Amino acid sequence: MMLLRMRHGRPPIPLRAEDDHLVRLYRAVSERPATTVILDSSKLPPYALLLSELPGVELYVVHVVRDPRATAFSWMRLKETHDRDDGATMARLEAWRSAALWLIWSLLVDRWWPRDHPRNMLVRYEDFVSEPATTVADIMAMVGLDPPSGLIEGHTVFLTPTHSVAGNPNRHQTGPVELTMDVEWENSMSFLKRWAVTLVTLPGLRRFGYPISGRRSVNPGRSKRSAS
């Protein structure tokens, strides 16, 4: 439906009266002292499309992708949310479902926000873990800011408390956090599920530079600012 609306020159997300609340929210945040950029970690592409249509919003997009087999394996894990007292766990997805969502969302974002646009950037999880300081510097340069001092030393990131209300439980970590490549899926994911995800996501694997074999999916290159 969104693609059809865009093809006919209409806003991809119909504007509603309630959207005024979003405009007021972002405006209020932007008016706080020393605020130059608002970081919204929302992950749904339709929401980004909605933001792009709101008055006063200058949208920059950082498209973060990870090898879909690693993503599928992560979604199958049992994880406590660590933000409730009842031991609640994150929702889990079957491998085929997470693979389908990975393919659809990744390709749509890559189409709606092309990598060769100065306000868009593709960041692969594997490249970020390999070169965190370089990746963060590239992102900051895109929005016209200097990298924050003292944030990253080598592969150690120094985190302060955040106020996000949903997401991976590791968002609650603070202090020095060592960045290491999570490759448990390479040895623990079943052969059948690995290849099922590979087949479903094959067009995206090639587009984002992941090997079909699924082994050692790290490139020595930096975060991509242009299509390759």
d(C-alpha 41, C-alpha 62), whole Å: 10
Each residue's pLDDT tens digit, 132-171: 999 999 999 999 999 888 899 999 999 888 777 777 777 7
pLDDT in tens, the chain (228 residues): 666 666 656 666 776 777 888 889 999 999 999 888 998 888 889 889 889 888 888 999 999 999 999 999 998 887 776 667 777 776 778 999 999 999 999 999 999 999 999 999 999 999 999 999 999 999 999 999 998 888 999 999 998 887 777 777 777 788 999 999 999 999 999 999 999 999 999 999 999 999 998 665 444 344 454 333
In DSSP notation, 25-47 reads: HHHHHHTSTT----------HHH
In DSSP notation, 112-124 reads: HS-TTSTTEEEEE
| Cα 156 → chain centroid | 20
β partners of residue 153:
156
d(C-alpha 121, C-alpha 84), whole Å: 34
